[in-house]
A and B are shown apart, each in its own frame.
Chain A
């Protein structure tokens, strides 16, 4: 006789583990299934973990969690081939409690987080792949795994199975993602001495810095590169929409090699040794791509629900909050012993009210806009670099002359109008 739990959570990433943690803490009998050898073994992200949403689940987690460095500086580099315009904010308030965010290595962090859920009473089973939901009379009643006697039942199943969510797809909650709804990120972890990292990035011992790379880092393809400081490693990567890679016929690892050898980036990496290579899909379809997230006996959280804010590189925080909201809904549903879609729809409503869907709505057209109009990355970032170069090069020409030169560089009147229109449109989709 297969076992029945109150709840099965499929996937021990930030969303699934947050959900299992909250459920177990409330005394719900929860099974957390993970396909990897251990939680985190298959999970990838650039590496920024936001403090607030994690603290909503485990207060003062930063006192014991395996974190790399608290971020005190966030830089943005708008890159051309041999130049970059850089914006940065550095604030020492981010270097002390309560902190803003941290770099993490997911293989370590996810394992720790899952252990915390186990301490609360969640049952974690690894190396087990959930193949499909068991559906009876239109209701999800359990999951079928790849193991012998692999069926297990529950009142409610939470799908935290990541970007491709085969289980949600099987239920007809979403179709196959289009290439312009998912980004492919590739990254490397490079070993570098602690002290060298701190000197190179102008950091106090233990503090960290993130650099987002726009423009030539992705050869003008819509996407971003990133360079983050860990304890004694650097994380460098690039993520671009799959559609961009297809259009430009470029392979993801070529792009990663390109950014690693970029003259603006290479000096940061000098002397480092690659220790790991990772790649993963990121759901970047945003608000328009959000699938159905609730059904009879089933909820969808995290990447599986396309909860990523590509503009602000936020995802794991949204995942955790969605997991927490799903858990709150399940705890409520349990008191009524009603796991129907109409009861569980409470989760969807909470999601809509939260910062998650608010932020996704704010930027709902941004990715599509920049994807449809490549001139932002292809033309305007180089233009900005040239303008800065003209303005700051002291060569005897007067500043008036320089401004005229920059103005000429903007092109014909028609092109200038287009630029003005594009700036306005960009403001429209981002505001």
Chain B
């Protein structure tokens, strides 16, 4: 029986979100809040592993009360339990403080049911750092396996996991001890269409919610804004690249044109 915990986050849908031109930050009111797409793949993988090996899938998130919606989405996908840490004390956290708070919550979950595997999405679409997953692993002192795009085997008895990690020019096969932490790529799986009983369960579901006081042995100085040394010195919207040339015509014609441009400027491509 595996106990897998997926760490998830509710994010503004950056596909539709607008950037506030004055502060250069995401205008959160302009976009619906969704489950971070990478995290959906993390939950999906956890549920697939549960089906393969048997076990329990929990999800954990840190966020304001409306983030319950993201947990419900995970229940739809097949997660069994949801935990949420929600408190003003967590607000304004950077990746250092976030990974600290999540690690503390994971310790608390592990007291109820020991954790074999933690799965995170590769990164969030609002922060784009990809630091929280490895940060949690470091704090819990377990191996982080980033960029996982295939899980070959999990063996709880012998205490190991074998996965493929995505590299720039291929992949590497890695064997790790358990417990460990994966951060997963989108290509690891396709999100399945949730069965109706899961939808009904999710609509009824209410997660366990912990405040900072509910977490044991917490150093409050490491939470939220206080525990966040990150300073944003400048933030800007990257200018749209200018120039370029649009090719027109049928596919064949466009390929022809492209080929002649490439041949014409081949020095550019050789360097």
Q: Residues of A with Cβ closer than 8 Å to B?
A: 2-3, 31, 123-125, 127-128, 145, 147-152
Contact = CB atoms under 8 A, between A and B. Distances in A.
B204 interface: yes
Nearest to A1: B197
Contacts of A2: 196-197
B195 A150 contact: yes
A148 B193 contact: yes
- Most-contacted residue by chain B among A125, A149, A150, A151 (CB, 10 A): A125
A152 B200 CA distance: 10
B203 interface: yes
Interface in B186-229: 193-197, 199-200, 203-204
A124 B203 CA distance: 6
Given A125-B196, A148-B196, 19 more contacts: A2-B196, A123-B200, A123-B203, A123-B204, A124-B203, A125-B199, A125-B200, A125-B203, A128-B199, A145-B196, A147-B193, A147-B194, A147-B199, A148-B193, A148-B194, A148-B195, A149-B197, A150-B196, A152-B200
B200 A3 contact: yes
A128 B200 CA distance: 11
A131 to B, nearest CB: 11
A147 B196 contact: yes
Contacts of A124: 203
Contacts of A145: 196
A173 to B, nearest CB: 24
16 contacts: A3-B197, A31-B200, A123-B203, A124-B203, A125-B199, A125-B200, A128-B199, A147-B194, A148-B193, A148-B195, A149-B195, A149-B196, A150-B195, A150-B196, A151-B196, A152-B196
Interface of B: 193-197, 199-200, 203-204
B218 to A, nearest CB: 34
Contacts of B195: 147-150
A110 to B, nearest CB: 15
Nearest to A152: B196
A233 B194 CA distance: 37
Contacts of A148: 193-196
Contacts of B200: 3, 31, 123, 125, 152
B46 to A, nearest CB: 18
Nearest to B197: A149
A151 B195 CA distance: 10
Query: What 5 pairs across the A-B complex have the smallest Cβ distances?
Result: A148-B195, A147-B196, A149-B195, A150-B196, A125-B199
A146 to B, nearest CB: 8
Nearest to A128: B199
Nearest to A143: B196
Contacts of A125: 196, 199-200, 203
- Most-contacted residue by chain A among B194, B195, B197, B204 (CB, 10 A): B197
Contacts of A31: 200
Nearest to B204: A123
Contacts of A128: 196, 199
B95 to A, nearest CB: 30
A119 to B, nearest CB: 13
Nearest to A150: B196
Contacts of B196: 2, 125, 128, 145, 147-152
Contacts of A147: 193-196, 199
A393 to B, nearest CB: 51
A64 to B, nearest CB: 17
A166 B199 CA distance: 23
A124 B199 CA distance: 9
A128 B194 CA distance: 10
B72 to A, nearest CB: 11
A123 B197 CA distance: 12
Contacts of B194: 147-148
Contacts of B204: 123
A297 to B, nearest CB: 19
Nearest to A122: B203
Contacts of B193: 147-148
A263 B65 CA distance: 51
A151 B196 CA distance: 8
A2 B199 CA distance: 12
Nearest to A144: B196
A148 B199 CA distance: 11
Nearest to A31: B200
A152 B195 CA distance: 11
Nearest to B199: A125
A3 B195 CA distance: 13
A147 B200 CA distance: 11
B145 to A, nearest CB: 31
Nearest to B201: A3
Contacts of A149: 195-197
A127 B194 CA distance: 10
A149 to B, nearest CB: 4
A147 B203 CA distance: 15
A145 to B, nearest CB: 5
